[in-house]
Structure 1
Amino acid sequence: MTSPTWTSSAGATGGRGGEDLRWLLSRLVAEVPGMLSVAVVSADGLLLLSSEPEDGVPRHRTLGPMGAAADLATVVSGLGSLTSGAATLMDGGGVRQTLVAMHTGNLLVMSISDGSLLGAWTTPEADMSTVTYHMALFVGRAGHLLTPELRAELRQTDGRRQR
């Protein structure tokens, strides 16, 4: 099985943290059966890292959010906000994870740290306990890498790319 091409919404970052996150993301999708696409989204809804190639053309999946990583990031951010609001209304505490099961796939969103989210799109046949387990491992390993400095660097580099 070949590893998918991984990019940051910001391109290459100068720090080691971005490279470590990309490496962890590539292992996540390459090693978890049924996992098709992954996005790391900041607390304010910006895509930080994704499994989409830079040109936005999916090469490793045939199903999923239409277009590109930005679509997955938008859905992950919106779902995270919605479930957080629901938890507040119900006095349920912080949301750890959210699962949406659909006919054509599953969307799993997990909290990483200080509001950052990890979202994964899977095939409908994916074993969600395995997906959840591996996502939790990623969150445990990646949480300390998503420092304010790395998030700022990813956002700043992304702004330069869009000009």
Structure 2
Amino acid sequence: MQTQTTMQTAQNVSTEAQRFNWLLRRFAAGTAGVIEAIAVSSDGLLIAVSATLERADADRLAAITSAINSLASGAARVYDLGTANKVIIDLDRGYLMVCALGIGSSLGVLAMKEANLGVLAYEMAMFANRAGDFLTPQLVEELKISVGS
């Protein structure tokens, strides 16, 4: 019965939601060094995940991505430095990168240490430009519901 419900939900996903999910998967698969990518709504909820993350791990990464974006935006406001473009966290074995997607949503990317940060930042900006053009509040709400299916 649960499989049937999941199939019905997947069939009822809009073309825009399918396109957003496809863009995220394409970004993650086609960008050298990317391990995973997620999209997060302004309220910190997962709206899309690239591929292999288990749901609990994706939700955890969504919370981290949202918190990082919030901290960066707060620092930008407090010190009158404009909007936050990207946050790069340099870890021992990789990177966590976060950028805005528009209407408060964020893109979180886990990348290998060997990743070219310039190329990765460029590809993140290109994804944000493509996705941000059609990421409406209605689509974000639909994506929040459909990501659980």
TM-score (norm. length: structure 2): 0.85
- Alignment-derived partner of residue 31 in structure 1: 30
Q: What per-residue deviation string (whole Å, max 9, x for no partner) do you get for residues 103-127 of structure 1? A: 1110111111021101100001100
Matched, 1:96 2:85: yes
- Alignment-derived partner of residue 138 in structure 1: 127
- Alignment-derived partner of residue 154 in structure 1: 143
SS at match of 2:102: coil
Contact 2:25 2:51 in 1 (8 A): no
SS at match of 2:113: coil
- Alignment-derived partner of residue 19 in structure 1: 18
Following the alignment from structure 1 to structure 2, what is the Cα–Cα distance between the partners of residues 152 and 123?
A: 31
How much does 1:148 deviate? 1.2
1:155/1:27 CA distance change after superposition, 3 Å:
closer
How much does 1:154 deviate? 2.4
1:103/1:40 CA distance change after superposition, 3 Å:
same
TM-score (norm. length: structure 1): 0.78
Q: What per-residue deviation string (whole Å, max 9, x for no partner) do you get for residues 120-160 of structure 1? A: 0000110011111111111111002211111122234467x
Higher strand share: 2
SS at match of 1:27: helix
Aligned residues, how many?
A: 140
Q: Which runs of 5+ in 1 are unaligned?
A: 1-10, 58-66
Higher helix share: 2
Deviates more, 1:23-32 or 1:148-157: 148-157
- Alignment-derived partner of residue 50 in structure 2: 51
How much does 1:29 deviate? 1.3
